[in-house]
Amino acid sequence: MTKILLSLIATLVVGAAAQAQTVDPAASELVFVTRQMGVPVEGRFQRWSAQVSLDPRKPEAARVVLRIQTDSVDFPAPEVTAEAQRAVWLDTAKYPQAVFQSSAIKAAGNGRYEMTGRLTLKGESHDMVVPVTFTQSGERGTASGNFVVRRSDFRIGEGEWTDASLVAYEVQVRFRIALSGLPTS
Amino acid sequence: MTPPASTRPARYDGTAIAAHWVLAALILINLALGLYMHDLPLSPLRLRLFNWHKWAGITILALSALRLLWRLTHRPPTDVPMPRWQRNAAHGVHWAMYALFFAVPLAGWGYSSAAGFPVVWFGVVPLPDWVPVDRAWADALKALHKSAALTLALLMLLHVAAALKHHVVDRDGLLQRMRPFGR
């Protein structure tokens, strides 16, 4: 009952053209891989929310807003998790949320899309193009992809950590967003 | 069947001697590096030292494998005359050291993988993670790596003390067997 109510509210808010979907956090992930002196060290964000309104029949009208709780950053090693929160890195105390807002989505054929949007992280905003692969089965679907973010664009790793030979500037981001409530025509 | 003493050389061969001293130096350096770095707060220095320590460790592991192969296929010199208990103790310590030459870096490699840091030799050659990322495994292998390393350090001390005892107290010329550039 609550789900239907929420869907209704979401539909009213977003507009009649596109219906809002629900994200399944258990089947979704937001992972990134840093390269530390050549060593791939993987971390993830455990708490984030996505507002997705997508009609696969009209992907260009889709809207995606991703909100990430920066202090949910998580590495296998606790000392690295603690370090990542500090001011020279994510500065989670001052910038508790990172946001990605889509501005345009273009179909590239075969379930592939190019999503243009703006990422705001640590007070810096940059436009980027994110390749997304979308698959659908009934009312469920998965949007996934990977792309590179330059940590230097967002002042992540300042001071003594600006040395790219220590931690490379290119950070590979990998995401999977499991959706339900997709329109099935 | 052991050949008669007269046909066995008085010294270790050149490769064995080179392996001994090169690895002794590498192991000592890595022990010192490990002792110094392990409690450092996270910093660029710590990141560098940890990686150099791992790369040196893998190098020691690889060279130890070659050294062991050599040892198993090349007869060492006959033991210098000494009481049986000393001969047994010497052989026991040597084989224990060989076991630790492998146990220490293997535990370190496993610990690194379990802690979420794959080992990439010299930042270029990725080595397999044969332990999954797991907090419990990381803690266990870290403890194993530390205690095995300390045991090796103690055995090395014992090894040096015993060698000096033979050379200085017994005056049996034992050090000649492993002396580089000797004859």
Contact B116 A77 (CB under 8 A): yes
B22-26, B107-111, B169-173: segment of lowest average pLDDT: B169-173
Q: Is the predicted pLDDT of residue B13 greater than 70, yes or no?
A: yes
Chain B residue numbers with beta carbons less than 8 Å from the beta carbon of A41 are: 116-118
Contacts for A43-50 with beta carbons within 8 Å, 24 or more apart?
A: A43/A73, A43/A74, A43/A75, A43/A80, A43/A81, A43/A84, A44/A73, A44/A74, A45/A69, A45/A70, A45/A72, A45/A73, A45/A74, A46/A72, A46/A73, A46/A74, A47/A72, A48/A72, A49/A23, A50/A23, A50/A177
Q: How confident is the model at residue A182 (pLDDT cuts 50, 70, 90)?
A: confident
Closest CA to B54 of B147, B8, B119: B119
Residues in chain B: 183
Give the start-to-end residue ranges of the domains of chain A.
2-180
Q: Which residue has the higher pLDDT, B108 or A52?
A: B108
pLDDT of residue A79 exceeding 50: yes
Would you say domain B5-178 falls under CATH 1.20.950?
Answer: yes
The band of A15, judged by pLDDT with boundaries at 50, 70 and 90, is: very low
Is any Cβ of chain A less than 8 angstroms from the Cβ of B123? yes
One-letter amino acid of A110:
N
pLDDT per residue over A106-129, tens digit each? 989 888 999 999 999 999 999 999
For tokens 């940890």, what's the residue? B50
pTM listed for this prediction: 0.87
Domain boundaries, chain B: 5-178
- Are A82 and A98 a contacting pair, CB within 8 Å? no
Question: CB–CB of A152/A169 below 8 Å?
Answer: yes
Residue B153 neighbours by CB distance under 10 Å: 18
For A40, the closest of B44, B118, B135 (CB atoms) is: B118
- In the chain, the amino acid numbered A98 is A
Q: In chain B, which residues have their Cβ closer than 8 Å to the Cβ of A165?
A: none
**pLDDT higher than threshold 90 for residue B73:** yes
Per the CB < 8 Å rule, is A160 touching B124?
no
Residue B183 pLDDT: 56
Query: B123 and A39 in contact by Cβ < 8 A?
Result: yes
Q: Strand, helix or coil at A35?
A: strand
Does position A11 have pLDDT exceeding 50, yes or no?
Answer: no
Task: Verify whether the Cβ–Cβ distance B115 to A39 is below 8 Å.
Answer: no
Distance in angstroms between the alpha carbons of the first and the last residue of chain A: 23
For residue range B145-154, list pLDDT tens digits in order.
999 999 999 9
B43 touches chain A (CB under 8 A): yes
A80-102: average pLDDT? 97
d(CA A163, CA A154): 15
Cβ atoms within 10 Å of A105's Cβ, excluding its own: 21
What fold does the segment set A2-180 form as a domain? Lipocalin (2.40.128)
Nearest to A123 by CA among A152, A94, A146: A94
Question: Are A86 and A72 spatial neighbours (Cβ–Cβ below 8 Å)?
Answer: no
Paired tokens of A119: 């990422």
